[in-house]
Structure 1
Amino acid sequence: MAAEKPKSLKLQLIHGTNKHDISLVLAPDQAGDTFCVKHLMTEVEKRTQIPPEAQKLIFKGQSLKNGEVELDKIGIKNGVKVMLIGKKPTPVDDKETSALGQVEGLFDKESKKLSEITYELDGIHRGFIDKDKQQDAVKKLQKRMAVVAEHLIKLLEKLDSLMFEESNKGARGKRKTLVDKIQVLLNQIDGLNRGLDEKEDASTYTAGS
């Protein structure tokens, strides 16, 4: 018969000169689950206000990075001591993190606008608009794309101005991801504009032949 998994775990967290008694308790809906590093990280954040991405937990010289690792498999049991290296975000980081969230929200709006433009362009290519109206419709969509591109470039400039501490890996990683996503949309806009220009050139050539 398999041994019953513990529903609670108590250990001591050493953070500089401070010592914290940490108690992990599984919620009723997690009965039967195993304590993992992520559970410890969550409780550490509650006690120290240091987010998981800024935590460096060390047990017997081993750095605990993978949140899915089970604590009992690395020897963490009742009464052990775990060391924490890290500090909570500074007020500046909090402000920058808030700005990062705003940029993310604005990016989502611009991404939606570009999706709508792409959908309308596809409709034009499929002949859903009369030929005599297609040219004006395309020009309007190109203007809208230019506005989206301008907004995206401003978001890149805003991201470039945000400064995060080296330890704030979560925010730094999110910023890089947003930069990459914005670049993808800008490349998409360039591709759409090139395709429209080539089509216009071909139409002009055909009309002049």
Structure 2
Amino acid sequence: MGSHSQEESHVLEIIVSHGPHKHSLNLGTKATIGDLGMKLEELTGVPVAGQKIINRGRTLANHDQQVTEAGIKHGSKLMLIGKKFNPEEDDNYKQIVEVEKRIVALAKKQIEISEEITGVQNGYLQKDLEKDSLSRLCKRLASCHEEYVRFLEKLDSLDLGTCNQSIRRKRKDVIKDIQSQLDSNDSLSSTIDKLQNTSNS
């Protein structure tokens, strides 16, 4: 029993009002205002950078301060002021989505190259045409590779600062897609190398 109550004493249950909505959440006593802000972003969609958290009329601005030091107790009622994130209004998000569209188009090109390579492997092309065809496919594949790398660099150069978490997740997902396409590109390149060596021998 004593152990159970001790466990409970390390968790603060608080209520946060945001507009007409009330959100109940649990915080560890060691949690910081920054941790609270991240939880509120998940609950409400209001980015940490755009939040104003108020406890008893006082704005909690120090993100490194522990919630208990900021006067937050079990049962505290806080107010959150801030606008929910709208991706259509965020320039970084729009740039990431644009890159994503370009990647989809580029992946289709790579699929076409893969199908042509399979055609060569299956002997659908006359032997005397194989060398030129493989050379052209190699160049097209290299061009795809360059574009993928360029898109990676563009995503990496975005200064997200304290952006909404969904923007960071979006960038991470698109980067993962690009890396997957680059792996496929490397595999196709190796296949072309083998076919070229066979054709030259």
The aligned counterpart of 2:128 is 132
Please give the alpha-carbon distance, in whole angstroms, between the structure 1 residues aligned to 2:138 and 2:90: 38
Unaligned runs of 5+ in 2: 1-14, 23-40, 52-76
The aligned counterpart of 2:150 is 154
Identity of aligned pairs, percent?
35
State whether residues 86 and 167 of structure 1, in contact with CA within 8 Å, keep that contact through their aligned partners in structure 2. Answer: no
The aligned counterpart of 1:164 is 160
State whether residues 103 and 178 of structure 2, in contact with CA within 8 Å, keep that contact through their aligned partners in structure 1. Answer: yes
Please give the alpha-carbon distance, in whole angstroms, between the structure 1 residues aligned to 2:133 and 2:198: 18
The aligned counterpart of 1:98 is 94
The RMSD of aligned alpha carbons is 3.4
Matched, 1:195 2:191: yes
The alignment's TM-score, normalised by the length of structure 1, stands at 0.56
The aligned counterpart of 1:7 is none
Equivalences for 1:17-56 in 2 at 5 Å?
Answer: 20-22=19-21, 50=46
The aligned counterpart of 1:14 is 17
1:132-172: CA deviations, max 9, x gaps? 11211111111111111111111001100112244511111
SS in 2 for 1:14: strand
Q: How many residues align?
A: 141
The alignment's TM-score, normalised by the length of structure 2, stands at 0.58
SS in 2 for 1:200: helix
SS in 2 for 1:163: coil
The aligned counterpart of 1:141 is 137
Give the CA deviation at 1:118. 0.5
Matched, 1:177 2:153: no
State whether residues 148 and 178 of structure 2, in contact with CA within 8 Å, keep that contact through their aligned partners in structure 1. Answer: yes
Please give the alpha-carbon distance, in whole angstroms, between the structure 2 residues aligned to 1:110 and 1:143: 14
Please give the alpha-carbon distance, in whole angstroms, between the structure 1 residues aligned to 2:144 and 2:190: 16
Unaligned runs of 5+ in 1: 1-11, 24-40, 56-80
Give the CA deviation at 1:125. 1.1
SS in 2 for 1:164: coil
Please give the alpha-carbon distance, in whole angstroms, between the structure 2 residues aligned to 1:95 and 1:175: 13
1:182-205: CA deviations, max 9, x gaps? 111112212211222123223433
SS in 1 for 2:160: coil
1:27-52: CA deviations, max 9, x gaps? xxxxxxxxxxxxxx9xx66xxxx48x
